[in-house]
Amino acid sequence: MTATPNAATPNITATDAEPEAEARQAPVADLADLADGSMKMLKVDGHRVCLVRTSSGVHALDHACPHEGYGLTQGNLDGDVLTCAWHNWKFKVTDGTCVLGEEAVRVHDVDVDPNGEIRVTLNRPDPQSLRPQLMASLRRGTEKHYVGQIARDTVRLLKAGAEPAEIMWDAAEHGLPRAEYGWDHALASATDCLAMVDLYDGDERALPLVQGVAGIAETARDRRVRELPDPTNDASVVHHEGFRAAVEREDLDAAQAIVRAAVARGDGPADLVDWFSGAVSDHHLSYGHGAIYSQKAFELLEMVGWEHADAVLGHLTPAIVYGTREDTLPYMKPFMRALAELDLDALAAEAANAATPDWTDDGTLRSALLGSDRTAPVAAAVRAVRDGAGIDGLLDAVVDAVSERMLRYDFDGEFDFGDDFGWLDITHGLTYPNAVRWLAAHDDGRRAGDLLRLAMFTAFQAHWTGRHEWHTSVGEPEQVEPLAADVVAYGDELQRRAHLDGTTAFIVHAHAVKTSRAAALEARRRDTTLPLDATARFLASPKLERFVAANVVRSIDFLNGRTQRD
Ligand code: FES
């Protein structure tokens, strides 16, 4: 709450949604029945009104408090300030301004004639005309991270005919320049939330929207705005290689200036997906987040419109430039040495020629991905693509292996604070291959070698998420009761469950959202319940959420000279 007066928030009620929007004269009340400093509830054209008399005159407000709808006449009047009895929001009765709380209350016109007869004319503007004010109110709620206001305004906007993409874009526009390292989990999760709106009808569509907007509001709050550099005037660097080189040398300004120049000259998604899939394949970036965020950014643009590409791709770039290059870290060296032996362009061409939908893993690839030999995944993956797996078959095997791991993950280790590993790490094993599959599906063949490298990185990740098993126990694979009889309905229900506040920390919620959507897409592709079962177990299991005790334990270890496991 704040003591700063809030601008008026237009309120849409059920009566506003009726086709008859004309204001009409209200029934008459008598001034003699309304003592100074008193309130009474009236019905005007079926609408509940709080009639108030103070030393400044007679005023009429919506009777329903804009917070949760309790009656304002149950509150207290102090001069011209009315306090709602339920949660202490305070309003000026003269104009409805909120002086403590989140939203103003709507006021109506009052006429008192010389005989003391009071007439109230309802102020019921056409809901469509309120949309600009509602969007402004939603933005205020987003800026302050007032989840209640975000929820109310989202429902009002949907009632007023706003498109879900318009609502989510407003939040993304706020969050993009505030995301500390460019795209983040809030923006990625918001993209998935927007895609999930189709799983709901009517007002219920607000649930995924508000989850997405609230996530951005939480993570962007009080963060400084990061301006984008101007588009470069040097046309000689505005191409795929120029962008990729700027990313490689961590020249953020140059990379952003190149992307902006490309968008400004009219490059479209068919051109620029290629740029990003190339750039994110140069390194195994931050648990696959380079590829995951690129997929989400272009998916968001498909839903909100390419006219937002400048902001979306400009602010995506820092996540690619500054992502952790895991391939340079000690734990990836055995894998990278094996990968360096390969001519990936030639292998990609070979794989494309050999690819057949009939390929199935004879168990070799699965064993390599779920085993503990750090070089085995490369050899097994090469053999698979030569035998006909193609990139899609390789990604299928990765999804299956990670799903198996999720079903057998011994989550007692989740609360072993000395081990920097947990549920969230494993879930990237599903979202990463789903992102690479999306990028591959949008490739025109120019990046075959790069995409194969990305697919190889997903194999590394699938294998590496087993490191917990190498020094702890492997649980018994859990049998999961399906949430629905067929794969599509099961996937839809799983995604809806991810929105039901089964987690407390936003970061865990974001992983529940993105994993459930990736699992639903992967399951639908091959008519398999395996990734759905794995994700259902993840959603239902105990999860580390606060990370405070874990950080303290690790800080004590670190500051006493104990080194991290690689
Ligand atoms: S219902 Fe009025 S303050 Fe909560």
Question: DSSP assignment, residue 442?
Answer: T
CA of 142 to the centre of ligand 1 (A): 20
Question: DSSP assignment, residue 237?
Answer: G
Round to whole Å and give the CA distance between 443 and 352: 13
Per-residue pLDDT tens over the stretch 86-124? 999 999 999 999 999 988 999 999 999 999 999 999 998
Ligand 1 closest atom vs CA 84? 2
Element (DSSP H or E) covering residue 393 = helix 390-408
Tell me the H-state helices in 160-203: 164-175, 185-196
Element (DSSP H or E) covering residue 552 = helix 548-559
Determine whether the shortest distance from the Cβ of 68 to ligand 1 is under 6 A.
yes
Ligand 1 closest atom vs CA 68? 1
Q: Any idea where the domains of the chain sit in the sequence?
A: 21-121, 127-220, 235-326, 329-550
User: So what CATH class is 21-121?
Assistant: mainly beta
Nearest to 61 by CA among 13, 16, 36, 94: 94
Q: Is the ipTM of this complex over 0.95?
A: yes
Determine whether the shortest distance from the Cβ of 200 to ligand 1 is under 6 A.
no
Determine whether the shortest distance from the Cβ of 105 to ligand 1 is under 6 A.
no
Determine whether the shortest distance from the Cβ of 322 to ligand 1 is under 6 A.
no
Determine whether the shortest distance from the Cβ of 308 to ligand 1 is under 6 A.
no
Determine whether the shortest distance from the Cβ of 84 to ligand 1 is under 6 A.
yes
Q: And the tokens for 50?
A: 């709080």
Per-residue pLDDT tens over the stretch 305-360? 999 999 999 999 999 999 999 999 999 999 999 999 999 999 999 999 999 999 99
32 near 128, Cβ under 8 Å? no
Whole-prediction pTM value? 0.90
Q: What contacts 202, CB < 8 A, 6 or more positions away?
A: 158
pLDDT at 27: 55
Ligand 1 closest atom vs CA 75? 2
DSSP of 83-143: E-TTT--EEETTT--EEEBS----EEEEEE-TT-EEEEE-----GGGGHHHHHHHHHHHHH
- Residue to mutate, 1, 6, 48, 70, ligand 1, most ligand atoms under 8 Å from C-beta: 70
Per-residue pLDDT tens over the stretch 87-96? 999 999 999 9
Ligand 1 closest atom vs CA 72? 2
Question: DSSP assignment, residue 262?
Answer: H
Angle at 257 between CA 251 and CA 261, to 5 degrees: 145
CA of 77 to the centre of ligand 1 (A): 15
Percent of the chain with pLDDT over 70: 94
Q: Whose CA is closest to atom 1 on ligand 1?
A: 68
The backbone torsions φ and ψ at residue 30, rounded to the nearest 5 degrees and listed phi first, read -115, 130
Which regions in the chain score pLDDT beneath 70?
Answer: 1-24, 26-28, 471, 473, 564-566
